Amino acid sequence: MLDDNRGSAGARPMPPGETDLVSPANCPCRLLLDQISDKWSVLILAALCAQPLRFNQVRRQLEGITQKALTRSLRKLERNGILSRRVIASSPVAVEYAITPLGRTLEEPISALYRWTHTHLPEVEQARAAYDQRMTEEE
Backbone Cα Rg of the chain:
19
Confidence (pLDDT) at 5: 37
CA 110, 111, 112, 118: dihedral to nearest 10 degrees? 110
Query: For residue 42, which of 101, 120, 109 has the smallest C-alpha distance?
Result: 109
CA 103, 107, 108, 113: dihedral to nearest 10 degrees? 110
For the chain, the helix, strand and coil percentages under 3-state DSSP, each to the nearest 5: 55, 10, 35
User: The sheet that has 94-99: what strands, in order across it?
Assistant: 53-54, 94-99, 83-88
In the chain, which residues have pLDDT < 50?
1-10
Confidence (pLDDT) at 91: 82
**Is the separation of the CB atoms in 80 and 32 below 8 Å?**
yes
Confidence (pLDDT) at 14: 59
